[in-house]
């Protein structure tokens, strides 16, 4: 019997992101039927597929609980539900820090908690977020604005995450390292996402993420070692993972460990669709 994989997406991206066509072709070459399906479409036949892979479900943010509940009802989902739950709330950064991984200094303020901000530039963002939505940068002297943004997030029910602004991102960008089946595949650089003043930045065509500047990047030995350690530290090997690193004066720090709906940037390299599809197909056996 032919094996089949559902690739979960959102209404704004019925055919996945620009990497989608290449991914579908890679599955076809492996003899596996792969079909994009919209996660919150009640008519989408997820249960007809051997496996669902979470892909471009970028609209889950305001309804994370419903998204996780949907995922938990699937016959089989990649990455596993426990990973989806863990990776959709940046409070996991505190765990990474406690385990000895370098992270940006991070303060968390749940709804109702009194907010305070550090000296100097800072970033205020929701712990449940994607596509840089809700993330804003504040300059020295803008503490009142930063606190107001954190309170606005809290009012929406979000936990506010506040970090010093790591300004190395303005010159060196953010590195993203992609892993499939636990093995390093490729890496890219993303330009800085947060502008002074912030509001009025351009959303991409989906309206779900801010436009990004992506370039190919060869991960440094230090970045690679850190990302590999982090993947090895997880309780099980994720089928796909993206480790996002920001430059700091003390070396790279982990800003995000994306195990849910990361862009995979296949267009910045060659052969990575194959590695991704193979890692998924390996889960079918």
Ligand X SMILES: Nc1ncnc2c1ncn2[C@@H]1O[C@H](COP(=O)(O)OP(=O)(O)O)[C@@H](O)[C@H]1O
Catalog residues that contact ligand X under the rule CB under 6 A.
104, 123, 125, 129-132, 135, 163, 165-166, 169, 174, 190, 192-194, 244, 246, 255-256
Residue 9 or 163: the one with the smaller Cβ distance to ligand X is 163
The secondary structure of the chain as a DSSP string is --EEEEEEE-TT-TT-STTHHHHHHHHHHTTEEEEEEETT-TT--GGGSSEEEEEE-TT-GGGHHHHHHHHHHSSSEES-HHHHHHHTSTTHHHHHHHTT------EEE-TTSPP---SS-EEEEESS--TTTT-EEE-TT-HHHHHHHHHHHHHTTPPEEEEE--THHHHH-EEEEEEETTEEEEEEEE-----SS-TTPPB-TTSSSB---EEE-PPPHHHHHHHHHHHHHSSS--SEEEEEEEEETTEEEEEEEE-SS----GGGSSSHHHHHHHHHHHTT-
The token pair that represents 169 in the structure block: 């991102």
Residue 24 or 242: the one with the smaller Cβ distance to ligand X is 242
To ligand X, the closest distance from the beta carbon of 27 in angstroms equals 27
To ligand X, the closest distance from the beta carbon of 76 in angstroms equals 26
To Mg ion, the closest distance from the beta carbon of 106 in angstroms equals 14
To Mg ion, the closest distance from the beta carbon of 190 in angstroms equals 8
Residue nearest to Mg ion (CB): 256
Please name the residue that has the structure tokens 């109702």: 112
Is 274 a binder of Mg ion (CB under 5 A)? no
Residue 13 or 246: the one with the smaller Cβ distance to ligand X is 246
Residue 13: contacted member of Mg ion, ligand X, none (CB under 5 to 8 Å, by partner type): none
To Mg ion, the closest distance from the beta carbon of 244 in angstroms equals 5
* The only residue of 85, 256, 273, 274 in contact with Mg ion, by rule CB under 5 A: 256
Residue 256 or 274: the one with the smaller Cβ distance to Mg ion is 256
Residue nearest to ligand X (CB): 193
Burial of 88 (0-12, 13-18, 19+ CB in 10 A): buried
To ligand X, the closest distance from the beta carbon of 80 in angstroms equals 20
Residue 108 or 210: the one with the smaller Cβ distance to Mg ion is 210
Q: How far apart are CA 185 and CA 262, in angstroms?
A: 14
Residue 17 or 274: the one with the smaller Cβ distance to Mg ion is 17
Among positive and negative, which fits the CA dihedral 179, 76, 60, 28? positive
Residue 50 or 139: the one with the smaller Cβ distance to ligand X is 139
Q: State the first-to-last Cα distance of the chain, in angstroms, to the nearest integer.
A: 13
To ligand X, the closest distance from the beta carbon of 272 in angstroms equals 20
Please give the residue ranges that form the binding site for Mg ion (CB under 5 A).
Answer: 256
């Amino acid at each position: 019997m032919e094996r089949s994989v559902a690739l979960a997406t959102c209404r704004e991206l019925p055919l996945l992101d620009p990497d989608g066509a290449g991914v579908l072709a890679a599955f076809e070459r492996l003899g596996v039927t792969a079909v994009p399906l919209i996660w919150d479409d009640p008519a989408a036949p997820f249960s007809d597929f051997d496996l669902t892979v979470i892909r471009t479900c970028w609209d889950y943010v305001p309804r994370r609980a419903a998204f996780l509940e949907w995922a938990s009802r699937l016959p089989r989902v990649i990455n596993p539900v426990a990973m989806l739950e863990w990776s959709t709330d940046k409070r996991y950064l505190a765990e990474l820090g406690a385990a000895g991984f370098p992270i940006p200094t991070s303060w968390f303020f749940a709804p109702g908690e009194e907010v305070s901000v550090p000296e100097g530039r800072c970033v205020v963002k929701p712990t449940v977020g994607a596509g840089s939505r809700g993330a804003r940068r504040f300059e020295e002297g803008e503490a009142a604005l930063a606190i107001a943004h954190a309170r606005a997030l809290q009012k929406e029910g979000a936990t506010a995450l506040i970090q010093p602004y790591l300004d190395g991102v303005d010159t060196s960008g953010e590195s993203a390292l992609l892993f499939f089946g636990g093995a390093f595949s490729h890496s890219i650089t993303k330009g800085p996402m947060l502008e002074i003043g912030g509001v009025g930045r351009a959303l991409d065509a989906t309206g779900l993420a801010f436009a990004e500047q992506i370039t190919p990047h060869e991960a440094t030995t230090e970045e690679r070692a850190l990302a590999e350690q982090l993947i090895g530290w997880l309780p099980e090997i994720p089928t796909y993972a993206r480790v996002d690193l920001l430059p700091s004066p003390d070396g790279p720090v982990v800003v995000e460990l994306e195990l849910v709906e990361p862009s995979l940037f296949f267009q910045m390299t060659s052969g990575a669709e194959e590695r991704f599809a193979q890692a998924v197909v390996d889960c079918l056996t």
